[in-house]
Amino acid sequence: MLSLPEIQDLVSKKIDAFNRKNGKSGIYGPITYILALGGKRLRPALSIMSAQLFSDELEDAIHPALAVEVFHNFTLMHDDIMDNAPLRRGKATVHEKWNSNTAILSGDAMMIQAYELLSKTNTEKFPEIFRVFNQTALEVCEGQQQDMDFEKRTDVTLEEYLEMIRLKTSVLLAGAMKIGAILGGASKADADRMYRFGENIGLAFQLLDDYLDVFGDEAKVGKLKGGDIIADKKTYLQILALENAEGANKEVIQYWLGKKPKDPTEKVRAVTSIFVELQIDKLVLEKVKSFHQMAMSDLAALEISEERKTSLRELAEQMLGREH
């Protein structure tokens, strides 16, 4: 069996080959650019790892895993236009380096290429993974729409927020894992377990991301602490705090909402201290743990040997456990 680093290495080599084939001219330049920015290749790695739970024959799983990575990067290219983001992985975004029209068009071409990659697999199972991929892809778009809608609202509930991040982030992890499982020969029940595993790990991962933005180690997180507070971003922490705060605390949070001071230190300090007083940090970590446990219970139920489950359990812990 391949280890996670071996799988990530395999994915990287395949992406490099894809980039060499695409080249740098016309609509293909921005595709090669964004794919060469790197990243952990988590989605394709999880997809291949999911196939490996059920089979040692990974050949069929590789191209669909790449399809997921190419699709993911297509969503980044288009989301960056919509979010007006200047940077992606520390480099200029495609619409900044080229322009919005190029980012729209190359993104479109990238989605078509994702479908091309998806089709390079065992034809017998293709209709099934095609359905999973399509549903996932549509849900990712729905999640992005909700995220944009939420920016204009002040009454987003925790439940709505969780549904939005489920769509925007988790279903692609879930779909990637289900596709891998199907191609590895999993039973329908096991393929569904893998989907739920991905969904719950994705939710845990996103909530942890919200947590780390405020309470993480700045050096490890690699970005300015409290960035979400400064930007008034709707996160699990902000929504929970607004729901739980009363009296003066509520007034202080609302006072800072929408304020853009030149030096944001005081804003971050004041809001963080209310989060702590309301024990938001602990409540979020409990929620992370609960999603993690749900994922683990689906992993435990898989109808495969315990030995095979180890790598995935370790990966989940690596994604979630060591950071806090």
Nearer to a copy of itself by C-beta: 147 or 199? 147
Main-chain dihedrals φ then ψ at residue 92, nearest 5 degrees: -60, 140
Amino acid at 255: Y
Q: For residue 317, state whether it binds a copy of itself (rule: CB under 8 A).
A: no
CB of 294 to a copy of itself, least distance (A): 27
Q: For residue 156, state whether it binds a copy of itself (rule: CB under 8 A).
A: no
Q: For residue 231, state whether it binds a copy of itself (rule: CB under 8 A).
A: no
* Rg, C-alpha atoms of the chain: 20
- By CB under 8 A, which span of 46-54, 125-133, 158-166, 291-299 interacts with a copy of itself? 125-133
Q: For residue 24, state whether it binds a copy of itself (rule: CB under 8 A).
A: no
- By CB under 8 A, which span of 94-102, 182-190, 200-208, 209-217 interacts with a copy of itself? 94-102
- Total binding residues for a copy of itself by CB under 8 A? 34
Q: For residue 82, state whether it binds a copy of itself (rule: CB under 8 A).
A: yes
CB of 127 to a copy of itself, least distance (A): 6
Q: For residue 23, state whether it binds a copy of itself (rule: CB under 8 A).
A: no
Burial track 94-110 (b if 16+ CB lie within 10 A, e otherwise)? bbbebeeebbeebbebb
Rounded Cα gap, residues 46 and 50, in angstroms = 6
Q: Pick from 2, 12, 27, 37: which binds a copy of itself (CB under 8 A)? A: 27
CB of 119 to a copy of itself, least distance (A): 6
Residue 136: which of 101, 180, 86 has the closest Cα? 180
Residue 88 β-bridge partners: 91
Which DSSP string corresponds to 47-89? HHHHHHHH-S--HHHHHHHHHHHHHHHHHHHHHHHHTT-SEET
Residue 91 β-bridge partners: 88
Residue 48: which of 12, 77, 22 has the closest Cα? 12
Q: For residue 119, state whether it binds a copy of itself (rule: CB under 8 A).
A: yes
Q: For residue 32, state whether it binds a copy of itself (rule: CB under 8 A).
A: no
Residue 2: which of 38, 46, 36 has the closest Cα? 46
Footprint of a copy of itself (CB under 8 A): 26-27, 78, 81-82, 100-102, 104-105, 107-109, 111-113, 115-116, 119, 123, 126-127, 130-131, 134, 137-138, 141-142, 144-146, 148-149
